[in-house]
Structure 1
């Protein structure tokens, strides 16, 4: 079993009936690129796969370019390895809401925000939400759910660091899938 397990998070696909990408097509797309143990999770676009390359940045560029060529639009893709996901779950600052996955979200950010960027976001966070940034992850606790959260809508615009969010159920499912791919079965 060669290679390393990665998880690709797509943003901006299958939202509101636009930019439709079928998960079966996404699976074969990854297989055509030469990746193995490919599995997808829910329509928002998540793929677990095994690659011989070790560098997430290189993989991101390769997959983004091939994706745009095939589907004709750009999707920002975050590629992270299984260790990153394990750390994300282990460092969750809101373990008390981990059992309520609609109230807890993790944003995979393209880079770690600066203190200034984080401070700007703090000013906008007037409750009931709480957030914490650890490296290139932003954890959001939205007690009324994401749909009702005004603050959640401000995160991207205020932080200005590109990212893509997943609820805690997706995070846990992807980690579990990565574990299965990693154990070779």
Structure 2
């Protein structure tokens, strides 16, 4: 069995679209996955599956999730190798120790050069970003909550994704490596 991480977008935010993590773990177990573990309330799931490809898992889990909870939540399923590469390829190692300043976004697909250029035009504050494959790294020196760039990032890039702070990324990696 292979280890995967599932990153939900938009659940348990601002008291909306509530999904209890115990229910989410039970849901994954009912779907036939093993060693299911969740981390914090934002919808991070580490699990084992016999499927060989993360893309095949994504569609099935998204469909079953919508049937169960009555709303659609975008989901990014990635394997352990992907998560290890995300951490290894961090272009901002000097700020990795401060989880409030470094974030990584799992993107639905690799952005085009044109999409990245459009985003770069909007990055005029203290923030900087780098895209490596289907991961966008964001260094926000003043924190994500104060970042004007973070506010325009999704609608400017127009590639769906879900962002996690660096502490969450490292915790998920540790959980996945131990699974």
TM-score, normalised with respect to structure 1: 0.96
Classify the secondary structure of the residue corresponding to 2:146: coil
SS at match of 1:138: strand
Residue 55 of structure 1, CA deviation: 1.1
Cα distance between partner residues in 2 of 1:58 and 1:101: 31
The DSSP-based 3-state class of the residue aligned with 1:147 is helix
Given candidates 109, 114, 117, the residue that maps to 2:115 is 117
The correspondence for 1:143, drawn from 141, 152, 174, is 141
Q: In structure 1, how many angstroms separate the alpha carbons of the residues matched to 2:69 and 2:104? A: 27
Q: How many residues align?
A: 179
Q: Deviations over 1:153-175 (max 9, x none)?
A: 11100000000000000000000
Q: Which residue of 2 aligns with 1:85?
A: 83
Runs of 4+ residues over 2 Å off in structure 1: none
Q: Give the Cα–Cα distance (whole angstroms) in 2 for the partners of residues 128 and 98 of structure 1.
A: 17
The secondary structure found in structure 2 opposite 1:111 is coil
Q: Output the TM-score relative to the length of structure 2.
A: 0.99
Counterpart check, 1:25 vs 2:23: yes
Residue 94 of structure 1, aligned match among 92, 95, 103: 92
Deviations 1:50-86 (A, max 9, x none): 0001111110001000000000000000000011010
Q: Secondary structure at the match of 1:40?
A: strand
Q: Structure 2: which 5+ runs fail to align?
A: none
CA deviation string 1:19-55 (max 9, x = no partner): 1000000000000000000000000000000000111
What is the root-mean-square deviation in Å for CA atoms of aligned residues?
0.4
Q: Give the drift of 1:127.
A: 2.0
Instruction: Name the residue aligned to 1:180.
Output: 178
In structure 2, what is the Cα distance between the partners aligned to 1:126 and 1:146? 15
* C-alpha distance in structure 1 between counterparts of 2:104 and 2:163, whole Å: 6
CA distance in 2, matches of 1:153, 1:127: 12
